[in-house]
Structure 1
């Protein structure tokens, strides 16, 4: 590593502060300190685990060394910098076997592995009808560090396997760093048979340090308030303005591409960083996506960039229908949106008849409201049918 391990995250954070990308926040500084402490512990454990040649006798000791490392669970409201901080940590951590995933995607992967094991067992290809131990073994071989964004448990199928799965993952020395909007003690609140889930909460809080990012400032709002979040027309400056807003919002965090799973299909996300995602209009509206896909995106990202929205006519009614559904979904979920478009909202759909023309009136109204400071502050009007 180029940076000293003990200050790897702090160095990157200080660079962002010095460049004016972010403002120094004492709550974030404490999170940075915790992340650097964790990275230092990971480096020490990594070194210690390589120093012995006791063979299989040391394998157990090695697992115990890693199992003693406490991860980190950062929770708080939107816009507090949780995802940015985890991304900085993920960039600089000494661990090479690492995985960053939305928690929902990780659990879908787990369910697929469980299903595959059960099918293999039916075919007589593997022994043992309990899929949890072999799945935990697979995951532990692949990944030493799991970084979860948007840790949330709403599904009873997830809730019922988490305790057994993570008991084994933690025993095998897997370390967890997570962001969430909720206190871990409130996970799966009011869920069916929640009493069966409580042991997992106790396990999790014993294996991670819990840090509440309770800063009074919503930095996502701070970056967007007063900014041109609806950019039109699509002239030479439109992309520059969009790029500048993206840079400000993501604090220079290294962008990545990823895929989100929804009902057995994958939704490509071309560019993502710091809780935001960036799409071309064609990515979202020229492909056969629907309301559930847009809802999946709304659950994964707090801000969406939608670029190059064209003027639509009757020949593009299918794209217009998807755009209507997309904006409805993002609006209903309070998602912040940055749009670059060929025309102002009132001029985006030019057909005068058909249901799309009627429905697009609502889209126009919502697009106008979604660039208001009240909407960006989380105060949508909820008056549009």
Structure 2
């Protein structure tokens, strides 16, 4: 797909009233379209030609995740990518780390190999809700992402915090500071701007543009808001695995969403 694919998809959502005209979002779309173009025109097997990623931050509800989803969805099919919540990704890394350390003949730092494997699976890693709150994560981020970046991986992430605010006041924060500096070297830090929380404003507006309450409101209004939020996607029941062998049953989620 060409550079215009992301912008065309964004324009379609505007025309269908799935998104509102917002100059901050439009600027981000233009920047991400440029990154798509760079990815198409560089060799993923040559780490020295790796384009800079993008670290997108701003207040909640400003459309960061929605635009990042659009970026991932419109990447050309030959560019491997993975879109995942950062907490889920780190949980997976700890699981891989445990398996590696439990294997017979374990020696050295398995994070280098894990990072290389992650890069082989996906050239572009798109993270939602990038944050560092756990000392266990903080201790391994530098080595893990160092391996991914050395192999030519590109990171596009959304966060509510500027990189300088990651793991703020955390235990042994000095351990994670080299990683934070590397994030700012490997990624362009982009503030989306804007202060309106579209999640809340869309819930407060009825079909006729009137403000409505969604707590203990009538069923018709609730169903109407749910349909708009789900954008016509069918709902299905899913079972989500959590730590260990536990599962959480969710009655209704958009079909096809992880």
Instruction: Find the counterpart in structure 2 of residue 246 from structure 1.
Output: 230
More helix by share: 1
1:192 match: secondary structure? coil
Q: In the alignment, is the contact (CA less than 8 A) between 2:59 and 2:195 conserved in 1?
A: no
Unaligned 5+ segments in structure 1 are 50-58, 279-385
Instruction: Find the counterpart in structure 2 of residue 299 from structure 1.
Output: none
Change (3 A) 1:238 1:75: closer
Between stretches 186-195 and 93-102, larger displacement belongs to 93-102
Q: 2: CA distance between counterparts of 1:29 and 1:239?
A: 30
TM-score scaled to structure 2, two decimals?
A: 0.85
TM-score scaled to structure 1, two decimals?
A: 0.58
Give the CA RMSD over aligned residues.
2.9
Q: CA deviation at 1:232?
A: 6.2
Q: CA deviation at 1:129?
A: 2.9
Instruction: Find the counterpart in structure 1 of residue 7 from structure 2.
Output: 10
2:91 to 108, 113, 133: 108
1:179 match: secondary structure? strand
Highest Rg: 1 or 2?
Answer: 1
Q: 2: CA distance between counterparts of 1:134 and 1:156?
A: 22
Instruction: Find the counterpart in structure 2 of residue 211 from structure 1.
Output: 190
- Does residue 72 (structure 1) correspond to residue 77 (structure 2)? The answer is no
Q: 1: CA distance between counterparts of 2:123 and 2:236?
A: 21
2:183 match: secondary structure? helix
Q: 1: CA distance between counterparts of 2:60 and 2:87?
A: 18
Q: CA deviation at 1:26?
A: 1.2
- Does residue 92 (structure 1) correspond to residue 77 (structure 2)? The answer is no
Q: CA deviation at 1:243?
A: 1.0
Q: CA deviation at 1:239?
A: 4.1
Instruction: Find the counterpart in structure 2 of residue 24 from structure 1.
Output: 21
Q: 1: CA distance between counterparts of 2:219 and 2:97?
A: 48
Change (3 A) 1:268 1:153: farther
Q: CA deviation at 1:119?
A: 0.7
Q: 2: CA distance between counterparts of 1:258 and 1:138?
A: 29
Q: CA deviation at 1:133?
A: 1.4
The structure whose RCO (Cα within 8 Å, separation 6+) is larger is 2
CA deviations 1:18-65 (Å, max 9, x no partner) are: 2222221111111101110110011111xx45xxxxxxxxx6xx2322
Change (3 A) 1:154 1:29: same
- Does residue 157 (structure 1) correspond to residue 154 (structure 2)? The answer is no
2:41 match: secondary structure? helix
Q: In the alignment, is the contact (CA less than 8 A) between 1:87 and 1:253 conserved in 2?
A: no
Unaligned 5+ segments in structure 2 are 205-210
Instruction: Find the counterpart in structure 2 of residue 304 from structure 1.
Output: none
CA deviations 1:219-277 (Å, max 9, x no partner) are: 11220122452576657x86455313433xxxx8999998866433454665359xxx9
Q: 1: CA distance between counterparts of 2:115 and 2:180?
A: 18
Q: 2: CA distance between counterparts of 1:253 and 1:10?
A: 22
How many positions carry a matched residue from both structures? 248
